[in-house]
Amino acid sequence: MKITLLGTGTSQGVPVIGCNCEVCRSTDPKDSRLRVSILVEHREDALVVDVGPDFRQQMLRAGVKKLDAVLLTHEHNDHIVGLDDIRPFNFRQLTDMPIYCMSRVLDDLKIRFAYTFAESRYPGVPRFDWKVIDSSSAFKIGHISVECIGLKHGSLDILGFRFGDLAYCTDVKTVTNEQKKKLHNLKVLIIGALHHDAHHAHMNLHEALEFIEEIKPARTYLTHISHHMGKASAVKLPAGVEMAWDGLCIEL
Ligand SMILES: [Zn+2]
Ligand SMILES: [Zn+2]
Ligand SMILES: [Zn+2]
Protein backbone atom coordinates (compact mmCIF):
# COMPACT_ATOMS: atom_id res chain seq x y z
CA MET A 1 0.00 0.00 0.00
CA LYS A 2 1.20 3.50 -0.83
CA ILE A 3 -0.03 6.68 0.85
CA THR A 4 0.77 10.08 -0.69
CA LEU A 5 0.19 13.29 1.24
CA LEU A 6 -1.37 15.55 -1.39
CA GLY A 7 -1.67 18.52 0.96
CA THR A 8 -0.57 19.22 4.54
CA GLY A 9 -1.72 22.79 5.18
CA THR A 10 -4.50 24.29 7.27
CA SER A 11 -7.62 25.83 5.73
CA GLN A 12 -5.92 28.90 4.18
CA GLY A 13 -2.94 26.89 2.88
CA VAL A 14 0.69 28.03 3.21
CA PRO A 15 1.78 30.57 2.04
CA VAL A 16 -1.24 32.59 3.13
CA ILE A 17 -2.42 35.23 0.63
CA GLY A 18 -0.80 38.57 1.45
CA CYS A 19 1.31 37.26 4.36
CA ASN A 20 4.93 38.33 4.61
CA CYS A 21 6.03 36.09 7.53
CA GLU A 22 9.22 34.03 7.24
CA VAL A 23 7.25 30.81 6.60
CA CYS A 24 5.17 32.35 3.81
CA ARG A 25 8.33 33.86 2.28
CA SER A 26 10.34 30.61 2.68
CA THR A 27 11.87 29.00 -0.41
CA ASP A 28 11.98 25.58 1.32
CA PRO A 29 9.44 23.39 -0.58
CA LYS A 30 8.53 21.83 2.79
CA ASP A 31 7.06 25.20 3.83
CA SER A 32 4.59 25.22 0.93
CA ARG A 33 1.36 23.44 1.84
CA LEU A 34 -1.85 22.85 -0.11
CA ARG A 35 -5.04 22.00 1.79
CA VAL A 36 -5.07 18.53 3.43
CA SER A 37 -5.78 15.37 1.47
CA ILE A 38 -4.21 11.94 1.10
CA LEU A 39 -4.15 9.45 -1.77
CA VAL A 40 -4.24 5.77 -0.78
CA GLU A 41 -3.21 3.25 -3.45
CA HIS A 42 -3.03 -0.54 -3.28
CA ARG A 43 -2.56 -2.66 -6.40
CA GLU A 44 -4.91 -1.13 -9.01
CA ASP A 45 -7.19 0.54 -6.45
CA ALA A 46 -7.05 4.20 -5.39
CA LEU A 47 -9.02 6.48 -3.08
CA VAL A 48 -8.61 9.98 -1.69
CA VAL A 49 -9.54 11.32 1.72
CA ASP A 50 -11.09 14.80 1.37
CA VAL A 51 -11.52 16.95 -1.72
CA GLY A 52 -10.55 20.51 -0.85
CA PRO A 53 -10.00 23.64 -2.95
CA ASP A 54 -6.66 22.30 -4.27
CA PHE A 55 -8.04 18.94 -5.47
CA ARG A 56 -7.60 19.61 -9.20
CA GLN A 57 -3.99 20.71 -8.76
CA GLN A 58 -3.33 17.74 -6.46
CA MET A 59 -4.68 15.20 -8.96
CA LEU A 60 -2.56 16.74 -11.74
CA ARG A 61 0.56 16.94 -9.55
CA ALA A 62 0.23 13.30 -8.42
CA GLY A 63 -0.67 12.11 -11.95
CA VAL A 64 -3.84 10.34 -10.79
CA LYS A 65 -5.67 8.79 -13.77
CA LYS A 66 -8.15 6.56 -11.95
CA LEU A 67 -10.01 7.05 -8.68
CA ASP A 68 -12.30 4.42 -7.13
CA ALA A 69 -13.73 6.36 -4.17
CA VAL A 70 -13.64 9.49 -2.04
CA LEU A 71 -13.81 9.43 1.77
CA LEU A 72 -14.82 12.64 3.57
CA THR A 73 -13.74 13.40 7.14
CA HIS A 74 -16.23 16.27 7.60
CA GLU A 75 -18.02 19.09 5.83
CA HIS A 76 -15.68 22.05 6.42
CA ASN A 77 -14.89 23.90 3.22
CA ASP A 78 -11.19 22.99 3.08
CA HIS A 79 -12.24 19.30 2.93
CA ILE A 80 -15.13 19.33 0.42
CA VAL A 81 -15.21 22.37 -1.83
CA GLY A 82 -13.32 20.67 -4.69
CA LEU A 83 -16.06 18.07 -5.26
CA ASP A 84 -17.08 19.65 -8.59
CA ASP A 85 -13.66 18.66 -9.97
CA ILE A 86 -14.60 14.97 -9.67
CA ARG A 87 -16.08 15.45 -13.19
CA PRO A 88 -13.02 14.35 -15.18
CA PHE A 89 -13.17 10.99 -13.35
CA ASN A 90 -16.90 10.67 -14.17
CA PHE A 91 -16.13 11.30 -17.84
CA ARG A 92 -13.06 9.01 -17.98
CA GLN A 93 -14.51 6.13 -15.94
CA LEU A 94 -18.16 6.46 -17.11
CA THR A 95 -19.39 5.88 -13.55
CA ASP A 96 -20.79 7.89 -10.64
CA MET A 97 -18.05 8.50 -8.03
CA PRO A 98 -18.68 6.68 -4.72
CA ILE A 99 -18.45 9.26 -1.90
CA TYR A 100 -18.34 7.93 1.67
CA CYS A 101 -19.43 10.37 4.40
CA MET A 102 -21.50 10.74 7.56
CA SER A 103 -25.25 11.43 7.17
CA ARG A 104 -24.90 14.95 8.64
CA VAL A 105 -22.19 15.71 6.05
CA LEU A 106 -24.43 14.45 3.23
CA ASP A 107 -27.31 16.68 4.45
CA ASP A 108 -24.96 19.67 4.35
CA LEU A 109 -23.64 18.81 0.87
CA LYS A 110 -27.21 18.49 -0.46
CA ILE A 111 -27.53 22.23 0.20
CA ARG A 112 -24.07 23.30 -0.93
CA PHE A 113 -24.03 21.14 -4.08
CA ALA A 114 -27.79 21.31 -4.71
CA TYR A 115 -27.27 21.39 -8.51
CA THR A 116 -25.85 17.83 -8.39
CA PHE A 117 -28.99 16.55 -6.61
CA ALA A 118 -31.51 18.37 -8.86
CA GLU A 119 -34.23 16.35 -10.62
CA SER A 120 -33.24 17.72 -13.99
CA ARG A 121 -29.48 18.27 -14.01
CA TYR A 122 -27.41 20.38 -16.33
CA PRO A 123 -25.46 17.96 -18.57
CA GLY A 124 -21.92 17.55 -17.30
CA VAL A 125 -22.52 18.19 -13.59
CA PRO A 126 -20.55 15.86 -11.32
CA ARG A 127 -22.23 12.53 -10.54
CA PHE A 128 -21.90 11.03 -7.07
CA ASP A 129 -22.88 7.68 -5.58
CA TRP A 130 -23.42 8.58 -1.90
CA LYS A 131 -22.49 6.00 0.75
CA VAL A 132 -23.42 6.89 4.33
CA ILE A 133 -20.95 5.73 6.99
CA ASP A 134 -20.38 6.39 10.69
CA SER A 135 -17.70 5.87 13.32
CA SER A 136 -18.51 2.14 13.54
CA SER A 137 -18.18 1.47 9.79
CA ALA A 138 -15.57 -0.81 8.24
CA PHE A 139 -15.55 -1.64 4.52
CA LYS A 140 -13.35 -2.32 1.52
CA ILE A 141 -12.61 -0.26 -1.57
CA GLY A 142 -11.22 -2.94 -3.87
CA HIS A 143 -8.18 -4.30 -2.00
CA ILE A 144 -8.04 -1.37 0.46
CA SER A 145 -9.63 -2.06 3.86
CA VAL A 146 -11.00 0.99 5.66
CA GLU A 147 -11.93 1.27 9.34
CA CYS A 148 -13.64 4.47 10.54
CA ILE A 149 -12.52 6.19 13.73
CA GLY A 150 -14.79 8.67 15.51
CA LEU A 151 -12.94 11.91 16.35
CA LYS A 152 -14.00 15.16 18.03
CA HIS A 153 -13.20 18.39 16.11
CA GLY A 154 -14.18 20.76 18.91
CA SER A 155 -17.84 19.85 19.45
CA LEU A 156 -18.21 18.39 15.93
CA ASP A 157 -18.12 14.62 15.38
CA ILE A 158 -15.87 13.83 12.43
CA LEU A 159 -14.15 10.74 11.03
CA GLY A 160 -10.59 9.52 10.89
CA PHE A 161 -9.66 6.42 8.90
CA ARG A 162 -7.42 3.42 9.50
CA PHE A 163 -5.94 1.61 6.47
CA GLY A 164 -4.18 -1.48 7.83
CA ASP A 165 -1.17 -0.27 9.86
CA LEU A 166 -1.69 3.43 9.05
CA ALA A 167 -4.23 5.84 10.52
CA TYR A 168 -5.16 9.31 9.25
CA CYS A 169 -6.66 11.68 11.84
CA THR A 170 -6.87 15.29 10.65
CA ASP A 171 -8.78 18.18 12.28
CA VAL A 172 -8.92 16.27 15.57
CA LYS A 173 -9.07 17.87 19.01
CA THR A 174 -9.95 14.90 21.22
CA VAL A 175 -10.56 11.14 20.93
CA THR A 176 -12.69 9.09 23.32
CA ASN A 177 -11.09 6.09 25.05
CA GLU A 178 -13.43 3.81 23.10
CA GLN A 179 -12.20 5.15 19.73
CA LYS A 180 -8.54 5.26 20.87
CA LYS A 181 -8.59 1.45 20.93
CA LYS A 182 -8.67 1.54 17.11
CA LEU A 183 -5.33 3.38 17.10
CA HIS A 184 -3.29 0.67 18.83
CA ASN A 185 -0.27 -0.96 17.15
CA LEU A 186 0.09 1.56 14.34
CA LYS A 187 3.16 1.62 12.12
CA VAL A 188 2.24 5.11 10.96
CA LEU A 189 -0.03 7.80 12.38
CA ILE A 190 -0.78 10.97 10.40
CA ILE A 191 -2.34 13.50 12.76
CA GLY A 192 -3.33 17.16 12.63
CA ALA A 193 -1.28 19.66 14.66
CA LEU A 194 -2.25 23.25 13.85
CA HIS A 195 0.40 25.41 15.50
CA HIS A 196 1.77 26.18 18.99
CA ASP A 197 -1.14 28.12 20.54
CA ALA A 198 -4.32 26.52 21.86
CA HIS A 199 -7.27 26.18 19.44
CA HIS A 200 -10.86 25.19 20.32
CA ALA A 201 -11.20 22.62 17.50
CA HIS A 202 -7.67 21.44 16.63
CA MET A 203 -4.81 19.89 18.60
CA ASN A 204 -1.88 22.22 18.93
CA LEU A 205 1.65 20.80 18.72
CA HIS A 206 1.85 20.11 22.46
CA GLU A 207 -1.48 18.24 22.51
CA ALA A 208 -0.53 16.21 19.42
CA LEU A 209 2.80 15.19 21.00
CA GLU A 210 1.02 14.15 24.22
CA PHE A 211 -1.43 12.08 22.19
CA ILE A 212 1.41 10.43 20.23
CA GLU A 213 3.16 9.62 23.53
CA GLU A 214 -0.02 7.87 24.67
CA ILE A 215 -0.83 5.99 21.43
CA LYS A 216 2.80 5.09 20.63
CA PRO A 217 2.73 4.65 16.85
CA ALA A 218 6.10 3.55 15.41
CA ARG A 219 6.22 6.72 13.24
CA THR A 220 4.12 9.89 13.14
CA TYR A 221 3.70 12.68 10.60
CA LEU A 222 2.01 15.98 11.51
CA THR A 223 -0.39 17.60 9.06
CA HIS A 224 -3.02 20.43 8.75
CA ILE A 225 -0.22 22.85 9.63
CA SER A 226 -0.55 26.65 9.82
CA HIS A 227 2.15 29.20 8.99
CA HIS A 228 2.16 30.03 12.71
CA MET A 229 3.94 26.69 13.33
CA GLY A 230 7.18 28.24 12.07
CA LYS A 231 9.50 26.93 9.37
CA ALA A 232 9.41 23.13 8.99
CA SER A 233 13.20 22.95 9.44
CA ALA A 234 13.04 24.85 12.76
CA VAL A 235 10.33 22.89 14.64
CA LYS A 236 11.86 20.66 17.34
CA LEU A 237 10.23 17.23 17.49
CA PRO A 238 10.96 14.01 19.39
CA ALA A 239 12.43 10.93 17.63
CA GLY A 240 9.86 9.22 15.40
CA VAL A 241 7.79 12.38 14.82
CA GLU A 242 8.14 14.56 11.71
CA MET A 243 6.32 17.43 10.09
CA ALA A 244 4.68 16.03 6.94
CA TRP A 245 5.20 17.78 3.60
CA ASP A 246 3.28 17.89 0.33
CA GLY A 247 4.26 14.95 -1.86
CA LEU A 248 5.48 12.75 1.01
CA CYS A 249 5.03 9.06 0.06
CA ILE A 250 4.71 6.32 2.65
CA GLU A 251 5.00 2.69 1.53
CA LEU A 252 3.62 -0.04 3.80
ZN1 LIG B 1 -9.54 21.40 8.04
ZN1 LIG C 1 2.62 33.68 6.91
ZN1 LIG D 1 -12.38 21.23 10.02
Phi-psi map region of 78: left, alpha, beta (phi>0 left; psi -120 to 50 alpha):
alpha
User: How many structural domains does the chain have?
Assistant: 1
Domain that holds residue 239: 2-251
The domain that holds 236 is classified in CATH as 3.60.15.10
pLDDT, tens digit, 9 for 90 and up, residues 26-73: 999 999 999 999 999 999 999 999 999 999 999 999 999 999 999 999
Looking at residue 123, its pLDDT comes to: 87
> pTM, whole model, 2 decimals?
0.98
- Report the C-alpha gap between 226 and 9 in whole angstroms: 6
Give residue 33 CA to ligand 2 midpoint distance, Å: 12
Ligand 2 (single-atom ion) residues, CB below 5 Å: 16, 19, 21, 24, 227
Tell me: the pLDDT tens digits for 151-204? 999 999 999 999 999 999 999 999 999 999 999 999 999 999 999 999 999 999
Q: What's the gap in Å between 15 CA and the centre of ligand 2? A: 6
The ligand with the least distance to the CA atom of 224 is 1
Question: What separation in Å is there between the alpha carbon of 85 and the centre of ligand 3?
Answer: 20
